[in-house]
Amino acid sequence: MLQLARILASPDRITNITVCTRPFRAQGPRLDVEQIGQKTVVHNYGHGGSGWSLSWGSSAIAVQKAMATGERDIAVIGCGALGLTSALLLQRAGAEVTIYAKDLPPNVRSSLATGIWTPDSRICFEDYATPAFKQLWAKMARESFRTYQTLLGLPGDPVEFIDDYFVSDNPDATPHHIASGDKRPKFADLQRELIGDLIPRSEVFAPGSHPFGAHYLRRNTFMMFNLSDYTRMLIADFQSYGGKIEVDEFHTPADFGRLSQKTLINATGYGARALFGDQSITPVRGQLARAIPQPDVHYGLDFNGVYFVPRRDGLVFQVHGQNDYYGFGDASTVPDRNEALLAVNTMASLWPHEPLNE
């Protein structure tokens, strides 16, 4: 009998509801180099739902391009997942680094992520997944995975592995991206094809062998980020190496002209849509209902269009819908209490009890 601690999923345990806009680009992340006036700008944004997951590998590419300019005093624009990892890798390459950002963690979009290693989550549309793109993506994914292994077991558990259970009425069911018959473009599904050796085999549990009644469970093992501790660790490391952070706001690329640095890495994420007028960025709304942590819960769940993630910095409940188009094209950031209640009550329904109402 599979033993799983009961999740205390109830509306009165919700501590916060947050919303972020993930920056999806049909063709994938932007990693090119652009000359703007006297400044060389290396772009590092547009990762959809894979920002944290690909951050180390993507930033390694951006840093290589920035260091190739010969400059050793380099600016990073943005203090989220891609900005912090770019800054740290620049320091390791011998550069002096200043981060310029309007907002600092935890008031950045990256701090509002789910916290699961999902390197191909809305990374691009399937038609753009050319052999060259697949090679680039696999390089970013493997480099990021390798780096995350060096962060396991640290104080605060910034990175850890968890078991995750997909709950369904069909033993052969798996989480799907788009239902058959849907004519919209498909999102690229790259993990099994390109980095399958990094993914442990799944295991199916039949009804009666677990706490969830007549359902089937499919267990997978995923990497999880406890973003509060992880982000604080990255900032502390950056500052311990002499890095500087300055609060500043840029309204147009021409504003970069006032910076002393000649080479910049642009890691502004969704903010690049307004800053650079990049209309290729499509917002993907994602809302989290955060709840009181449970130290005895160390597993995740995916049931009926809802994710549960057992982060140490607060349990996470998220409605993700039945396909990857949930929240697509929605730039709204106003929390939806009803959506939060749906997420929590859906997970609560896996255990027999009276219906939960607010």
Q: What is the pLDDT of residue 322?
A: 85
What stretches of the chain show up as alpha helix (H) in DSSP? 51-67, 81-92, 131-149, 191-194, 227-240, 272-275, 337-348
Kindly report, residue by residue over 192-245, the tens digit of the pLDDT. Answer: 999 999 999 999 999 999 999 999 999 999 999 999 999 999 999 999 999 999
User: What pLDDT sits at residue 352?
Assistant: 73
SS3 164: strand
In angstroms, the Cα distances linking 224 to 129, 199, 351 are 26, 14, 24
The pair of three-digit structure tokens given for residue 168, joined into one six-digit string: 């369904």
**Residue pLDDT, tens place only, 137-185:** 999 999 999 999 999 999 999 999 999 999 999 888 777 666 667 889 9
- CA-CA distance, 308 to 5, in Å (whole number)? 13
Strand segments (E) across 78-129:
96-101
Q: Tell me the CATH architecture of domain 11-348.
A: 3-Layer(aba) Sandwich (3.40)
For residue 358, the model assigns a pLDDT of 46
| Domain assignments of the chain as residue spans, ordered by start | 11-348
Torsion of CA 209, 215, 216, 222, to 10 degrees: -100
Q: Residue 51 has which token pair?
A: 């920002």
C-beta neighbour count of 57 within 10 angstroms: 22
Report the candidate in 140, 137, 86, 82 with the shortest Cα–Cα distance to residue 113.
82
Overall average pLDDT of the 3-16 stretch: 97
pLDDT tens string 266-315: 999 999 999 999 999 999 999 999 999 999 999 999 999 999 999 999 99
